[in-house]
């Protein structure tokens, strides 16, 4: 929920730290990102209600409130764009590499003028990183491997290849006794020509057991994150798989939400708000009462919409 605002505020804090800005300013954006991450409501819903609820959020002053509204209305933030222009957009790719934070990025930039993954890769391959303060052969080797992996992950995969991997993972999950339903969602379900990440949604009698079982998938090369409701892994063929587990009563809502695409989700959220309802990956709600969520068909019917296949949602206008 609220991924765009979280992403932009996090990246602003990181770029400010790279530039050596005041620590209190850096922390203000870090805290704002953390607050939004813990928020149990969609900021777009709050903004559409126009009831000043965003202004009342803890730790959100006039400046941060204005930036949240700017992101919600335009999808971008002028300050974020300005920082990117100053540092170079490649800095964000470097910051996504495990084990590299703003302090190391600042070091690489000041000592070797590294501002992109290609430049970082070249420095690691030439041995230049090992000679930097706080670095060494071991750190350099780790960065070299991480950069190569990230380069692979950024490449979109042909639909057929991604589908084979997704079907293999789904088949593996179906062998778990705790699983009742499991399928893939996202751009793969919408049959896009190329796929980024593979999204899988599952439900069953024991969500914790399902998640633990997923992490034993034999094709996993690296676990990027493991949580109660979502885990992300990288497979041997360098594809990222995100698994989300939900209760059976929310399976349809989760499949609906994570199939997307974004413009379709925004449309149905607006429809729900006009009726005074709220929609998210857990269901369709009127206040605290759940109206729908067990199946996708139930979601469409409650919204008074004809059922649309995932492919038609892709081209929905």
Indicate whether 206 and 271 sit together in one domain.
no
What pLDDT shows up at residue 315?
Answer: 84
Answer with the one of 213, 246, 279 that is the final residue of a domain. Answer: 246
Boundaries of domain holding 109:
92-154
d(CA 26, CA 13): 5
Matching residue, tokens 């704002």: 32
Residue 289 lies in a domain: yes
Hey, which residues does 244 pair with through a beta bridge? 201, 230
What's the average pLDDT block by block, 10 residues per block, for the chain (317 residues)? Answer: 90 96 95 91 82 84 93 92 94 88 94 94 94 93 86 83 98 98 98 96 97 97 90 93 97 97 91 90 92 97 96 88
Residue 18: burial class (beta carbons within 10 Å; 0-12, 13-18, 19+): buried
Q: For 157, which DSSP code? A: E
Q: How far is residue 269's CA from residue 249's CA, in Å, rounded to a whole number?
A: 19
Query: In this predicted structure, what is the pLDDT of residue 225?
Result: 87
pLDDT, residue 47, reads 84
Residue 159 domain-assigned (yes or no) = no
Structure confidence at residue 3 (pLDDT): 85
Domain boundary among 154, 182, 206: 154
- Domain termination site, one of 87, 107, 130: 87
Whether 212 is covered by a domain: the verdict is yes
Three-class secondary structure of residue 116 per DSSP: coil
Which residues, at least 6 apart from 128, have a Cβ–Cβ distance to it below 8 Å?
A: 112
Q: Quote the pTM value.
A: 0.68
Any residues with CB less than 8 A from the CB of 305 and at least 6 apart, and which?
Answer: 268, 271
**Pairing, β 198-204 against β 240-245:** parallel
Cβ atoms within 10 Å, residue 102: 19
How many beta carbons lie within 10 A of that of residue 314, not counting itself?
Answer: 18
Rounded to whole angstroms, the Cα distance separating 279 from 292 reads 9
Q: What is residue 218's predicted lDDT score, i.e. its pLDDT? A: 97
- The number of folded domains in the chain is 4
Q: In sequence order, which residues have a C-beta less than 8 Å from that of residue 139 and are 6 or more positions away?
A: 99, 129, 130
Q: Where are the beta strands (DSSP E) in the chain?
A: 157-158, 179-184, 194-195, 198-204, 220-226, 230-235, 240-245, 278-280, 283-286, 289-292
pLDDT of residue 148: 82
| CATH number of domain containing 24 | 1.10.150.110
CATH code of the domain in which 176 resides = 3.30.460.10
Measured in residues, the chain has a length of 317
Tell me what pLDDT residue 166 has: 98
Asked if 23 and 79 sit in the same domain, the reply is yes
What's the distance, Cα to Cα, between the start and end of the chain in Å? 23
- Is residue 161, in this structure, part of any structural domain at all? no
Mark whether 78 and 10 lie in a shared domain: yes
Domain assignment present for residue 77? The answer is yes
């Amino acid at each position: 929920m609220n991924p765009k605002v979280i992403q932009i505020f996090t990246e602003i804090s990181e770029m400010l730290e790279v530039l050596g800005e005041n620590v209190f300013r850096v922390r203000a954006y870090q805290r704002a990102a953390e607050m939004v991450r813990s928020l149990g409501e969609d900021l777009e819903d709050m903004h559409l209600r126009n009831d000043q609820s965003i202004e009342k959020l803890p730790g959100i002053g006039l400046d941060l409130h204005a930036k949240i509204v700017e992101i919600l209305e335009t999808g971008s933030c002028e300050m974020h764009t300005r920082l990117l222009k100053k540092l170079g957009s490649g800095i964000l790719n470097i910051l996504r590499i495990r084990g590299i934070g703003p302090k190391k990025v600042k070091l690489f930039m000041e000592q070797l003028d590294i501002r992109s993954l290609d430049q970082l890769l070249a420095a690691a391959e030439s041995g230049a990183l090992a000679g930097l303060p706080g670095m060494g052969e071991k750190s350099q080797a780790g960065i070299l491997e991480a950069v190569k992996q990230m380069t692979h992950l950024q490449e979109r995969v042909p639909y057929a290849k991604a589908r084979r991997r997704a079907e293999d993972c789904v088949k593996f999950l179906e062998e778990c006794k705790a699983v009742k339903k499991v399928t893939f969602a996202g751009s793969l379900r919408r049959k896009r020509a190329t796929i980024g990440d593979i999204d899988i949604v599952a439900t069953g009698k024991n969500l914790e057991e399902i998640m633990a079982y997923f992490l034993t998938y034999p094709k996993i090369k690296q676990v990027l994150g493991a949580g109660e409701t979502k885990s992300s892994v990288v497979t041997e063929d360098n594809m990222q798989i995100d698994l989300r587990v939900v209760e059976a009563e929310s399976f349809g809502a989760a499949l609906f939400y994570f199939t997307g695409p974004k413009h379709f989700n925004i449309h149905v959220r607006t429809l729900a708000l006009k009726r005074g309802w709220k929609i998210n990956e857990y269901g369709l709600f009127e206040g605290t009462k759940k109206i729908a969520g067990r199946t996708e068909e139930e979601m469409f019917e409650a919204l008074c919409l004809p059922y649309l296949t995932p492919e038609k949602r892709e081209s929905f206008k």
